[in-house]
Chain A
Amino acid sequence: MDSQAIATGPADPHQEHDEAHPAYLRHHFVTVDQQRETASFGMWLFLLTEIMFFGGLFMAYLLYRNWYYDAFVAGSNTLSIGLGTTNTAVLILSSFTMAMGVYSAEIRNRKGLLTSLSLTIFLGLVFLGIKTVEYHDKYVEHHIPGASFSVEDFVHPADKRDVPLAPDMAQHAQLYFFLYFAMTGMHALHMIIGISILFILLYQAWHGAYVNGHTSTIDNFGLYWHFVDIVWIFLFPLLYLISRHPLK
């Protein structure tokens, strides 16, 4: 009974083992399904800590938006809805390609897996590229909180339809931009980590991994990627959309 075998890739001599006890089934699990469910349960526990991590930021945003409502509205309206919507679509598409990657691994389709992972990397990079353009705009407009921050756009808005803010309220727009950079920056960091892991998965899949029935790694990375997508699904309306028609 080869119960201690560890999957080491396509060269594994235990590959020809019978279906009920494949080489990648660790000895402390009875069945493959039990092993799979345990792994994804662990991944979900990690994601729950991530909910609370981003949850703190969302909570801070909710509170400060109520306190300095006018400043948050003015700050939010400097963002480009077009870029935000495009990025939302790009990220949702990348979630779809990742889901197709999980499917390809499950039906043991190496080519499909490689294509899906590559597309996910590409779409992830497109998202970060658009984000960079947005960050650069903020830099040019002196909207990055700190020493170079300028209240000019808020005290004397170029668009006549915008209500000018008092200088002290305009200062609080820094708080909006601080939370904007903290939340989207933390989200972008998760994407950068995700894309780095995707490159590793792509390399391993290129050498034949994950198409032998042992798909837990791909499954769990998929969960991570979709979670990052969900965070953006909430960041997008909160940061870009809900301040277009402020309450008077």
Chain B
Amino acid sequence: MSNPVPVQHEHHIVGPKVYLLILLALLVLTATTTGVAYIDMGIFNPIVALGIGCLKAVLVILFFMHIRYSSRVMMLTVGAGFFTFLVLITMTLSDYISRNWGLW
């Protein structure tokens, strides 16, 4: 065997302790987001709800989906995916906002 060993990431096994901690955090955040929905915060209700949603999603991606322990190319790929989604939202909304300027 004379194949050169490629540059790669060492595999990391995530243990039950981390998973249990993330599960607890996710459940607490779910309770929080439901509780907060009953408080009138005006324009901030959706912002807080989506903020908590993003936090939960990041926890799932980093720990349940092991991105925290993955190589840079994986982190970049995942980031690129969500960035593309943001491009979809931003471009579409900037179109809708600018069409009937001031009439929203």
Contact = CB atoms under 8 A, between A and B. Distances in A.
Interface of A: 1, 30-34, 36-37, 40-41, 44-45, 47-48, 51-52, 55-56, 58-59, 62-63, 66, 81, 85, 88-89, 92-93, 95-96, 98-100, 103, 106-107, 222-223, 226-227, 229-230, 233-234, 236-238, 240-242, 244-245, 247
Given A31-B5, A51-B82, A244-B45, A233 B53 contact: yes
> What are the 5 closest A-B residue pairs judged by CB atoms, nearest first?
A48-B81, A237-B49, A241-B37, A242-B46, A245-B40
Nearest to B77: A44
Given A31-B5, A226-B61, A227-B65, 6 more contacts: A1-B1, A52-B85, A96-B22, A234-B53, A244-B38, A247-B43
Interface in B9-55: 9-11, 13-16, 19-20, 22-23, 26-27, 30-31, 33-34, 37-43, 45-46, 49-50, 52-53
A233 B60 contact: yes
Interface of B: 1, 3-6, 8-11, 13-16, 19-20, 22-23, 26-27, 30-31, 33-34, 37-43, 45-46, 49-50, 52-53, 56-57, 60-61, 64-65, 70-71, 73-74, 77-78, 80-82, 84-85, 88-89, 92-93, 96, 104
Contacts of B39: 245
A222 to B, nearest CB: 8
A86 B13 CA distance: 30
A31 B88 contact: no
Contact of A59 (B27, B34, B74, B92): B92
Contacts of B9: 33, 37
B57 A230 contact: yes
22 contacts: A30-B5, A37-B70, A41-B74, A44-B77, A55-B89, A62-B93, A63-B96, A66-B96, A85-B30, A89-B30, A92-B23, A92-B26, A96-B22, A99-B14, A103-B14, A226-B61, A234-B50, A234-B53, A237-B37, A241-B49, A242-B37, A244-B38
Contacts of A66: 96, 104
B42 A31 contact: no
Nearest to A32: B11
A155 to B, nearest CB: 25
Given A34-B8, A103-B14, A237 B74 contact: no
B80 A234 contact: no
A28 to B, nearest CB: 11
Does more than half of chain A's interface fall in helix, strand or loop, or is it mixed? helix
A227 B82 CA distance: 12
Contacts of B104: 66
B81 A234 contact: no
Contact of B16 (A36, A103, A247): A103
Contacts of A96: 19-20, 22-23, 64
Nearest to B30: A88
Contacts of B3: 30
B32 to A, nearest CB: 11
Contact of B27 (A63, A92, A240): A92
